[in-house]
Amino acid sequence: MKADIHPKNYRLVVFKDMSCDYSFLTKSTIETKDTVVYEDGNEYPLVKLEISYKSHPFYTGKMKLVDTAGRIDKFKNRYAKK
């Protein structure tokens, strides 16, 4: 195995499913600008998710209307500058 290929900056990060307002805390190296105060009272970096197992139709057994127009607008706004 190759030595020193894994990142060293693992830290606790909150991932939040925006569609059902579900959050979970785990370790990650992802970079983010947002922060949030989690249930334990500490402040952590925040990563916003569009879908997780709490809102995915495969796990919930329910079909949910997905806002594809909003996603397309978000994509166009993000890459309009480039």
Instruction: Say what percent of the chain tops pLDDT 90.
Output: 39
Task: Tell me, yes or no, whether 51 lies in a domain.
Answer: yes
What global pTM score does this model have?
0.65
pLDDT digits (tens, 9 = 90+) for 27-59: 999 999 999 999 999 999 999 988 776 776 655
What is the count of structural domains for the chain?
1
Could you tell me if 10 and 29 are in contact, meaning their C-beta atoms sit under 8 angstroms apart? yes
Note down the domain range covering 47: 11-79
- Which class for 54: exposed (0-12), middle (13-18), buried (19 or more C-beta within 10 A)? middle
Within-domain flag for 17 = yes
Residue 6 counted as domain residue? no
